[in-house]
Amino acid sequence: MKKKILISTGGSGGHVIPALNFYEHLKQNNEVFITSDLRGLKFIDTKNYNYKTIDVPDIKKNKFKFPLNLIFFLSSIIKSFFYLKKNNIDNIISTGGYMTFPVCIAAMFTKSKLFLFEPNMVLGRSNLFFLKHCKKIFCYSDTIRKFPSNYIHKIQTIYPLLDKKSYNLKNDFKKSSDQKVFLVIGGSQGAKFFQTELKNTLNKLSKKFNLFVYHQTSAENFKDLEIFYKQNNIDYQLFDFESYLESILLKTDFCITRAGASTLAELAFFEVPFLAIPFPYSKDDHQVYNAKYYKDNNCCWMLDQKEALQKNLFEIISNILVDKKNLQLKKKAMSKISSKNTWENNYKIIINTINEN
């Protein structure tokens, strides 16, 4: 008999993309549902998923709207409860964030089995809140910061979740261009630092190398960047959210990126040398520890944002690009860390974990 499994997600691409990968793993032998808030909707092609919107207000965001937001929040719990009951949901996978709170709270009343997901190297606050009530928590490592020792037994390690296409495409592309292909990733919400402070560095690099830049940022920043790239005669392509990022990664020689868990996992899998500049205001500095994990395994270079502002970023990147021996060492380290990351291996882990609990 097929299990009925709900995946609760929302917010940024860092929450939604892994949720979609969970969905793809589970849909073959189960009836799978997915819920998201309005922000997460932009990442989901609703025609291909059994989808429901359950929007959740951030009750801490505006203290003047707190009473109204609290009412909406309680309403979303009630809505979640009836959705779980109506669809007889057996199991729930939450990808974290405040937007999953209503579904997880409703699960306590419906007695649905709860599984959590923590891709970062620091335990998220919503996951900490529900850790007592979950069966297992899927993690990329068993050494997560701020993880209570009395719940260590609940960790189920998996390999970083990637789109199924990634495994098929990895060895398909052979680069033919003479250009040095750069990728700039500011995150699904865009990043002001990557919008402004990198311009001078990229301009200088374009004078030294035959450069093509793929630049990910929010759509509202396109016009400003288009002016910059055109004025400086730099070949470029801008994108907001790219559902086929793997096709870009296959062409990329070097990446400058924030340190979201999904992004770093994809870069390591495709063996793209990268410089991580973690977002300095991420909750509990989780981006710092995400990047540090790869740096400690000799997979990348890392600078904090203050260092990037104070040091000569052009010189740092130039030195990286001409040191071909070190570039190859980084690629070799990334290959080693990703060697067992296959679709089949993750499928077995996820299915067995849900069936055994």
Tell me what pLDDT residue 14 has: 86
Residues 132 and 213 in one domain: no
Residues 42 and 20 in one domain: yes
Tell me what pLDDT residue 243 has: 66
Residues 191 and 117 in one domain: no
Residues 177 and 33 in one domain: no
Residues 208 and 116 in one domain: no
239-298 pLDDT, tens digit each: 887 667 888 999 999 999 999 999 999 999 999 999 999 998 888 899 999 999 999 999
Residues 144 and 281 in one domain: no
What's the predicted TM-score (pTM) here? 0.92
Tell me what pLDDT residue 188 has: 56
Alpha helices in 170-234 (DSSP H): 192-196, 199-208, 222-231
57-72 pLDDT, tens digit each: 776 677 777 788 888 8
Residues 332 and 348 in one domain: no
Residue 199 has, within 13 A of its CA and on its CB side, a CA count of 15
Tell me what pLDDT residue 281 has: 84
Please list the rounded mean pLDDT of every run of 10 residues in the chain (357 residues): 92 89 94 93 89 82 77 92 96 93 95 97 95 97 96 97 87 68 78 83 94 90 93 94 81 94 94 94 90 97 88 92 95 96 96 95
Which domain, by its residues, includes 299?
166-337
Residues 176 and 277 in one domain: yes
Residues 315 and 186 in one domain: yes
Tell me what pLDDT residue 321 has: 94
Residue 265 belongs to a domain with what CATH number? 3.40.50.2000
The answer to whether 297 and 333 have CB atoms below 8 angstroms apart is: yes
The string of DSSP codes covering 100-123 is GHHHHHHHHHHT-EEEEEE-SSB-
Domain count, the chain: 2
Residues 77 and 111 in one domain: yes
Query: What span, in angstroms and rounded, lies between the C-alpha atoms of 265 and 293?
Result: 11
Tell me what pLDDT residue 180 has: 92
Residues 81 and 144 in one domain: yes
Tell me what pLDDT residue 42 has: 84
CA 226 → CA 38, 96, 206, 208, distances in Å? Answer: 29, 35, 15, 21
Residues 249 and 265 in one domain: yes
